Amino acid sequence: MSTPANPPASPAGAVRGWRRLLPGSLFYRVTLIIVVGLAIAQLLTFAAIRYERNMALRELMMIGIERDIASSVAILDRLPAAERAGWLDRLERRNYRFALGGSAEGSEPGSLQSRQFAAAIVDAMRPFQVVKVGEVAWPPEGLQIQVRLGDGSSVVVHAMRVGMPVSGWVMWLLAAQLLVLAVCAWYAVRLVTRPLAQLSAAADRLGPDLKGRTLAEEGPTEVAHAARAFNAMQQRIAGYMSERVEILAAISHDLQTPITRMRLRTDLMDDAHDREKFRQDLDAMHSLVREGVTYARTLHGAAEPPLRIDADALLESMVADYEDVGQQVRLEGKAGAPIVGRPHALRRILMNLIDNALKFGSEVRLRVHAEDDGRLVLSVLDDGPGIPPDELDAVLKPFYRVESSRNRSTGGTGLGLAIAHQLAMAMGAELTLKNRPEGGLEARLALAAAPARATLQD
Structural domains for the chain = 23-203 (3.30.450.300), 206-301 (1.10.287.130), 304-447 (3.30.565.10)
Q: Report d(CA 40, CA 168) in Å as an integer.
A: 20
Strand partners, 134: 144
Residues near 218 by Cβ (< 8 Å), separated by ≥ 6? 224, 227
Tens digit of pLDDT per residue, the chain (458 long)? 444 545 555 555 554 555 566 666 667 777 788 888 888 888 888 888 777 776 666 666 556 677 888 899 999 999 998 899 999 999 998 888 999 988 989 888 888 878 888 888 888 888 899 999 998 888 877 899 999 998 999 999 998 876 556 667 777 887 888 888 888 888 888 877 787 777 777 777 766 556 667 778 877 777 788 888 888 888 888 777 777 777 777 777 777 778 888 888 888 777 788 888 888 888 777 777 777 666 666 655 556 778 888 888 999 999 999 898 888 899 998 888 888 888 888 888 899 899 889 988 888 999 998 887 778 999 999 988 888 888 888 888 876 777 543 344 455 566 788 888 888 887 888 899 999 988 889 999 998 765 443 333 44
Q: Which helix (H) or strand (E) holds 203?
A: helix 168-205
DSSP 81-95: TTTHHHHHHHH-BTT
Q: How far apart are CA 195 and CA 184, in angstroms?
A: 18
Beta bridge partners, 432, equal: 444
State yes or no: cis peptide before 451, omega within 30 of 0.
Answer: no
Return the closest-CA partner of residue 448 out of 425, 421, 428. Answer: 428
Pick left, alpha or beta for residue 219 (phi over 0 → left; psi -120 to 50 → alpha; otherwise beta). left
